Chain A
């Protein structure tokens, strides 16, 4: 079982590599990948430096090109993919069927991983992507329970990678258009959800209001911790009741499930968070490295160490974690 870690910058990449990541995933500095943030991600020069650093230490580097190009952007996306191929990444992480087709035809020697944005939630869907585009691995959306993942794993024609830790999308990834409904950007079109350019903070007396393109996503009383207004994690009104109607600010943490994932033969666990700091990359990678090493050594007696869970809790959104769709009660 491999540990795949995020890096939004060269220092983050180095931190993840030093902490024991088996692979890191990075993206170009534009909207060709699903973490488009100002000042984040890599120029080609930094990519080369990062790849050299990782290679010397035996860590593989994947390139995320997992947004959906429209005709006006097609040439930009394909030329970026071609550049990634020239740079010699160990794998390309793709979602769009057109781009997968381009990669399979023009760069057949570079492994293709299906991004979580490709929305493959069954072995039938995986067979489609495998047959049509020769993918060798797929990242599963965070909507499946353990029983469902077991079924997928039992029939999958490709390696599986599942999310282990980080910010939690509760909608099936790759087909969530909520962000472009409120703003003009979505994960699919430009790699942004609830983009910072649309966020406005306003003080109203003792309260702090968080708006997204003018829409009130949450209002925090003076003594409450204010979180980023991700649109599905705000407090809204339904028939007079005000609550986190979709989801609370929380992070996914599947450490308790690690022995079971290991038993299922899941090939890789993925950490979310290219938008986070180098310290996050390093701490999360180190924690999961220790956990994976222990589960490999003795899966029967594995128990997460309290200090690991504390570290992860401290790095979580709103300081809380959940098992999300892995458990029935969450649904």
Chain B
């Protein structure tokens, strides 16, 4: 069976119209699954839960599997109220990105999937989640293909069925804080941030004093400075029984990225020529059990 392609949730804060335009295009792309929702900061309110729901129905009508993603770092009662609205949507599967969301879907007896920030590091953890309604899990970004292979072997030996998704393209979400680093750059307190992160649709590059790309600041989240790219690993993933490959939305060039992965998953590996993307080096270290920022291939 051909692996599915999925579009992860938008990690950046884009204006509402940009979000709607992006998904109007995505509806036509060869991706099977689309994750929707605000996963980084509760202050980003251009799109409310009801707006995400409208969008979810439109995309479902275009034949997409739609999943509603929960906020990664839950801090307040207001965050929990939003989570409950997502849980109670009545139509779509929920991606639990922390144990608060996990608890809500389990107590409600709902099926769920887990995102890359849910720490699933071993089959024993998967067994716990499978008992409670897990439908698919996403490999945490820092884990390697060898760990995935070990997981798959153990699951097979124990006759457990746990479809797996791999984050395969985009800036890697690496950390979450209560502090906003974009507001900090602008010298603004977080509760009067004036939504400055909306001025940076691909985040703010954090470089070393030798101009090396180190991280990317995106509000309260910190991402990798290099762009993870596992396109060349798709045949290997196919052999490992990976069910879905996640591409993380970017403001520019996403249609071409999806088109390339679509060819690659069908065994027609595209040539490596540059795309019109935000400038950043590539990386694939995590997949090989090396420092995440490493890149295995010569340019």
Binding site for B on A (CB under 8 A): 68-72, 74, 95-99, 101-102, 118-122, 124-125, 127-129, 131-132, 143-145, 147-148, 151, 170-172, 174-178, 180-184, 186, 188-189, 213, 215-217, 219, 235-239, 241-242, 245-247, 325, 328-331
**What is the interface of chain A mostly: helix, strand, loop, or mixed?**
mixed
Binding site for A on B (CB under 8 A): 72-77, 79-80, 83, 98-104, 106-107, 117, 119-125, 127-129, 132, 140-143, 146-147, 150-151, 153-154, 172, 174-181, 184-185, 189-191, 204-212, 214-215, 217, 222, 224, 285-286, 289-293
Inter-subunit contact B214/A236 (CB<8 Å): yes
Q: How far is the CA of A124 from the CA of B73 in the complex (A)?
A: 13
In-complex Cβ contact of B191 among A74, A122, A325, A328 (8 A): A328
Inter-subunit contact B292/A177 (CB<8 Å): yes
Inter-subunit contact B179/A180 (CB<8 Å): no
Q: How far is the CA of A247 from the CA of B119 in the complex (A)?
A: 25
A-B CB contact pairs (8 Å), 17 listed: A71-B122, A98-B127, A119-B98, A119-B119, A121-B100, A122-B75, A124-B100, A124-B101, A125-B99, A128-B106, A174-B119, A175-B72, A181-B215, A182-B291, A237-B206, A238-B205, A238-B206
B74, B123, B191: residue with the most chain A Cβ atoms closer than 10 Å: B74
Measured between beta carbons, the chain B residues less than 8 angstroms from A178 are: 174-175, 215, 222
Distance to closest chain A CB from B243 (angstroms): 19
The residue of chain B having its C-beta at the shortest distance from the C-beta of A142 within the complex is: B178
Since A177-B292, A330-B179 are in contact, a sample of 4 more A-B pairs with Cβ atoms closer than 8 Å, ordered by chain A residue number, is A96-B121, A124-B101, A148-B75, A176-B176
Measured between beta carbons, the chain A residues less than 8 angstroms from B204 are: 238-239
Known: A71-B154, A182-B293, A331-B190. A124 touches B178 (CB 8 A): no
Inter-subunit contact A128/B208 (CB<8 Å): no
Inter-subunit contact A180/B286 (CB<8 Å): yes
Measured between beta carbons, the chain A residues less than 8 angstroms from B210 are: 216
Inter-subunit contact A331/B185 (CB<8 Å): no
Q: How far is the CA of A101 from the CA of B146 in the complex (A)?
A: 24
In-complex Cβ contact of B291 among A95, A147, A183, A241 (8 A): A183
Closest 6 CB pairs of A and B: A98-B124, A71-B150, A128-B103, A181-B292, A125-B99, A124-B100
Inter-subunit contact B293/A181 (CB<8 Å): yes
Distance to closest chain A CB from B175 (angstroms): 4
Inter-subunit contact B209/A235 (CB<8 Å): yes
Inter-subunit contact A74/B122 (CB<8 Å): yes
B121, B127, B140: residue with the most chain A Cβ atoms closer than 10 Å: B121
Distance to closest chain B CB from A54 (angstroms): 31
Inter-subunit contact B291/A237 (CB<8 Å): no
Inter-subunit contact B122/A70 (CB<8 Å): yes
Q: How far is the CA of A305 from the CA of B104 in the complex (A)?
A: 44
Inter-subunit contact B80/A177 (CB<8 Å): no
In-complex Cβ contact of A68 among B119, B212, B224 (8 A): B119
Known: A241-B185, A245-B217. A124 touches B80 (CB 8 A): yes
Inter-subunit contact B214/A175 (CB<8 Å): no
Measured between beta carbons, the chain B residues less than 8 angstroms from A143 are: 73, 75, 176-178
Q: How far is the CA of A116 from the CA of B194 in the complex (A)?
A: 32
The residue of chain B having its C-beta at the shortest distance from the C-beta of A100 within the complex is: B128
Known: A128-B103, A238-B206. A122 touches B177 (CB 8 A): no
The residue of chain A having its C-beta at the shortest distance from the C-beta of B205 within the complex is: A238
Q: How far is the CA of A217 from the CA of B210 in the complex (A)?
A: 10
Inter-subunit contact B291/A98 (CB<8 Å): no
Distance to closest chain A CB from B120 (angstroms): 8
Known: A96-B121, A143-B75. A328 touches B291 (CB 8 A): no
Measured between beta carbons, the chain B residues less than 8 angstroms from A127 are: 103, 107
Distance to closest chain A CB from B264 (angstroms): 24
Q: How far is the CA of A132 from the CA of B102 in the complex (A)?
A: 11
Measured between beta carbons, the chain A residues less than 8 angstroms from B217 are: 238, 245
